[in-house]
A and B are shown apart, each in its own frame.
Chain A
Amino acid sequence: MWKVILYGYRCYLRQGVLLLTIMNYFEKFGIPVGYKIDENALVQAYLQEQSSFHPDANEVEFEKSALLNKAYKVLSNPIDRAKHFLEIHGKYQDVLDPEFSVEAFNLREKYETLATLKSKKKFQEELAKRISELIATLYKLENNLDAFQKNYGLLRFINSFLEKVRSDAYGRN
């Protein structure tokens, strides 16, 4: 696998085919690449940039402002940030490691058996708690990318599962 660094973008060459063009959002805000970030510095940099490029301040920079918003949204969310962190290291994969497939299977099974609103609500809390635990684990694995990747896979699964459970429960709309 080839890795080329070019003007702040990273391109990956795999089997001779250009695969991904990932913009490095950390660099966009001038903060060091890492899973741990200084949130205050991020907010500060984001608001600073938006005060020059937001359409109310600058009519011509719609796309630039939208891109800043996207970058901020990714970095400020610990789950999206984990994905981006893996992507810029060329380690992102959309798979669940076999090590965790039992846990994932059990969660699915459990949800099927829940009937009452109360138990479903409690299950949502359980999933949310597991997500926090996994995020805490990721902070410790920042320097061990393979383990980081595996744990991220489970985090991603549980998070989209929680989204599904929540959207099943979402009221009027």
Chain B
Amino acid sequence: MLTVGIDLGTTASGVAYMKDGRPITCRINGNVTIPSVVNYSGDQVIIGIEAIYSPEVSPESTVSSVKRFMGTGNMFREKSPIEVSADILSYLKNNVERDLGRKIDAAVITVPSHFSDAQRTATKHAASIAGIRILRLINEPTSAALAFGLDRKKDGIFAVYDFGGGTFDFSVLRLRNGIFQILATGGDNYLGGDDIDLAILDYNSQLHELEIDANEKIFGKLVAKFLKENLNDAADIKKKYTYKNRDYEFLLSQNILQQVSCDFLQRTMEISDQVLLDANIDSSELDGVALAGGMTKLKLVRDKVRKHFSTTIWDNINPEEVVAFGAAIYADSIVHKNHSLLLIDVVPLTLGIETLGGGVDKIIHRNTPLPAMEKRYYTTYQDNQTGIKFHVVQGERPLASECQSLANFELTGIPTMPAGMPRIEVKFSVDVNGLLQIEARDQKTSVQQTVVVDPSSGLSPDKIVSLLEKAKKNQEQDSIHARNISLKIESQRMVKFWESMVDKIPFSFQEIAKSGIVNLKTALETDQYEDILLSRKKIEELFGPFLDDIINARLSGRAVTDLAGELQ
């Protein structure tokens, strides 16, 4: 039995599990994370690095940053965000199960702390469709805190600054005797490294008076990302970008980086200050600020955080792995009923009901500890009214129309009475996953209605049921035979991928790589599944250290080593 923690990120996803009391990352194709990118070319689903770089894929059938659209009705290549996320989760699950030779029994999946009920519900559906039993949904910064907290074994008041590829979250928490009590949280689901990559790309396309097609932007952004991540202390860095068979030189200097990311960083600090205010904690009271999310690898970001909070910075865990680590720790703690560890998280956004004038009656305020339960009483405003409509919203704005709409429901069957006589009790419960359930009851007649809030997510309830049934069937059929077939198809695709990459690795490795690929091909032709696994592993190990280089080479048409020479 295997329980894992899954960090389903906007731009990158990863899995970790516990071994000998420590969390470790399950490497996939040699990397700690895979890009959260899915390609739907023809009837194939290609995921991760391949979805970007494989010669078979076309950019217009590639879906990236789908997490930003969770809980909305947006569709990609006729797939809802839930289905795209489910494909990413399935890919992670299959790879990990094959690597460790064990089936995943259950998982803790992380979500941005700022995710609304709609987005959490969508994530839960995605996991069910991928055949993963969810132990808990936990918030990303909380998860990072768990990983650091376990590491430090120290009590106090801490903050987590979690700046990822797509989202920013900030949480303040108290750690005492293994209990992680979140005091307040806040964030922005549309603020991440992705935005900075785009800004760098925009800057360069303006420089070259280039108008890049929306479909092609994914490659442009990768060049921008490369520049951002490799600038370090250098004054500037250049990289070739090929667009419509013409070469352009993209540039990033310390000044440009500062200029394009200034507003974004400022916004993270404003959010952080607001959260500290909500937690009623002065920044001088903080015993430390933990860093999570890929963006905190940038020197610019770390310097800014250090300057803003003037307290100890915790950065000794890789910010790309730390969220999955925390999830693995908590998954393990729940399964083993390890009572030395407990999480008390909070409601991220105020939940309320629309009032007659279009305002919001706030029922559960943001930063209320979970689980939370509140009751309200409503009545009719017209004589002989037999139903009351409720519109449930989430958000901080004063008008219901400016908040996110979660559900509409109607309590019917109220006996005819003069206005104001009925007494309708509405009970709001938010569970530890941050998921809302509403029960409405007419106290006089006991007419009762339970509403499981399932907001518009691009999938009709029927479709969700049918996908779930399909997922269940898949699991039943998930015999060795079925797994072997999927292994074969995937390996055949990988062969093509590696063959296209083999001349990009150092010359001395090329012969071994080529013979490895030949071995794999032979194994594939003769259906020797043990051999397929073995030779795949060998090739993955061989390519692993060069993968980044290969990708960069793929991007610009030349090797990174050339580039390094140029920079000197």
Contacts and interface: CB of A to CB of B under 8 A. Distances in A.
A67 B369 CA distance: 10
A118 interface: no
Contacts of A43: 174, 176, 181
Interface string A51-74: 100111100001101110110110
Interface string B178-193: 0101000000101000
B432 A55 contact: yes
A66 B396 contact: no
Contacts of B370: 69
Given A55-B431, A56-B334, A72 B342 contact: no
A110 interface: no
A65 B342 contact: no
Interface stretch (A2-10, A23-31, A163-171): A163-171
Interface in B315-360: 334, 339, 342-344, 349
B14 interface: no
Given A51-B179, A164-B398, A56 B372 contact: no
Contacts of B342: 50-51, 54, 56-57
Interface in B397-436: 397-398, 402-404, 429, 431-432
B429 A173 contact: no
A65 B349 CA distance: 20
Most B CB atoms within 10 A — which of A43, A54, A62, A170? A54
B371 interface: yes
Nearest to A58: B339
A43 B155 CA distance: 13
Contacts of B181: 43, 47
A56 B343 contact: yes
Contacts of A56: 136, 334, 342-343, 432
By CB atoms of chain A within 10 A, which of B343, B369, B432 has the most? B369
B450 interface: no
Interface in A11-53: 43, 47, 50-51
B339 A47 contact: no
B369 A69 contact: yes
B371 A65 contact: yes
Interface string B361-377: 00000001111111000
A73 B368 contact: yes
Given A56-B334, A173-B397, A63 B176 contact: no
Interface string A126-161: 000000000000000000000000000000000000
A11 B339 CA distance: 38
B386 interface: no
A62 B371 contact: yes
B339 A51 contact: yes
Contacts of B382: none
Contacts, number: 67
B177 interface: yes
Nearest to A50: B344
Contact of A54 (B344, B349, B397): B344
Nearest to B360: A167
Interface residues of A, number: 23
B165 interface: no
Say what secondary structure dominates the interface of chain A: helix
A167 B371 contact: no
Interface in B533-551: none
Contacts of A73: 368-369
B395 interface: yes
Contact of A69 (B339, B343, B372, B402): B372
A55 B337 CA distance: 12
A37 to B, nearest CB: 14
Nearest to A164: B398
A75 B342 CA distance: 21
Given A55-B431, A56-B334, A173-B403, A63 B373 contact: yes
Contacts of B334: 56
Contact of B429 (A54, A62, A168, A170): A62
Given A43-B176, A55-B432, A56-B342, A167 B373 contact: no
Contacts of A51: 179, 339, 342
Contact of A70 (B344, B373, B431): B373
A126 to B, nearest CB: 15
B371 A70 contact: no
Nearest to B433: A55
Nearest to A77: B280
Nearest to A124: B277
Contacts of B136: 56
Contacts of B368: 69-70, 73
A167 B374 CA distance: 22
Most buried by A among B371, B395, B398, B431: B371
23 contacts: A43-B174, A47-B181, A50-B344, A51-B342, A54-B342, A55-B371, A55-B431, A56-B334, A56-B342, A57-B339, A57-B342, A62-B373, A62-B429, A62-B431, A63-B373, A66-B373, A67-B373, A70-B372, A73-B369, A167-B397, A170-B396, A172-B188, A173-B396
Q: Which 3 A-B pairs have the closest CB atoms?
A: A66-B373, A69-B369, A66-B371
Given A69-B372, A70-B374, A173-B349, 12 more contacts: A47-B181, A54-B432, A56-B343, A56-B432, A63-B373, A65-B371, A66-B371, A66-B429, A69-B371, A168-B398, A170-B397, A173-B403
